Structure 1
């Protein structure tokens, strides 16, 4: 038999199969997923931290010195908490449900307490310097709680959208629960 007349074996790559997504589209989808799931809560948390610093709105009644001195640290902690919250509750088994929301909101109320007391002129018997230290810790912790709250709530939205779209979309080869295996 003539070697040139022999049929060639099927050498299509897995990416060329009709049901598989294109390689370029896969990285774009992954980039959009990461942006939508994790970057948006980070940006919202940064806006909630920078808005009061730039004078657009107020979240806490505080002195300008505290905001000026520890604002960047609070921004860093808030962004980190938003990223951790969106990643943890977006992918893992625990969901950001009612107990997690109530616990986070309760922690937020605890961190706001020194600002409410200072506004009323109360220091709970602590020396002014010690109360200032507690207020500084509460300020940084407040924005970490805000970041966790934003990241957790956004993970609930993302999961609801993902669950709703998975019901109507045909299953793709190599995917389980909307994620590549």
Structure 2
């Protein structure tokens, strides 16, 4: 009888051990979280779809089917002209922009692809506002709609400083598919994280 109880205890202990999370499980979970870090805040169903694309190795093809080519805006001057077209069309009354440039220093580690800086400078007895937009150099080689999404985002900060409802309405006013473009850009960042950029 003691042998039976001992066998039962050993079996129960094995079952318990089998149910424990191993360091491999933890590492796999951490790796998956790192891969999906650009999708925080999206619905569970969207994240599940992205996981399936990652598992099936189809995320790159999905982006290529939507955006087969990259833009040809390579210089800071071309980027400035590109941004100014949107400003003239949608934000004529907003403060002037003194600079729009590609910036090597903007890294993806902070999940930022663009920065809008605003400074007041005193010149004589006048105060002049200086607006600058910096776009990550990584966006030199992406499809035009994804660059447009970041440019529109930074331009919207000329009128709306915070990421509030009015801010996103302004983004959608300038490019109607803003939210889809933001998701697709995040999918591209996920591809880059996986070492499988399609561009």
Same fold by TM (over 0.5)?
A: no
Looking at both structures, which has the greater relative contact order when contacts are Cα pairs under 8 Å and sequence separation is at least 6?
A: 1
Which structure is higher in strand share? 2
Which structure is higher in helix share? 1
